[in-house]
Amino acid sequence: MYREVYKDEPLIRELILEMGWAIDRLLKKDEIVMFDEYENVREVIEQEMKWRQSDGTFRRT
């Protein structure tokens, strides 16, 4: 996912890293497998990437 054009875009870099960490956590918890189609697990990944809980506090893993 990394592209040279992102080198000056800290927010995009953070999002790419967070997505990678979220995918890693989901794989380790067996909630997704590496052969899943992205479109089928996109919402699961996005939920795992949420940085805040419903009460507004930052999520701790």
In this prediction, residue 1 carries a pLDDT of: 60
The pLDDT tens digits along the chain (61 residues) read: 667 777 788 888 888 888 999 999 999 999 999 999 999 999 899 888 876 666 766 666 5
Residue position matching structure tokens 């967070």: 18
Residue by residue, DSSP assigns 17-29 as HHHHHHHHHHHHT
Q: How many domains, the chain?
A: 1
* Residue 16 is assigned to a structural domain of this protein: yes
In this prediction, residue 29 carries a pLDDT of: 96
Tell me which residue range forms the domain holding 12.
4-48
> Does pTM top 0.85 for this prediction?
no
* Residue 61 is assigned to a structural domain of this protein: no
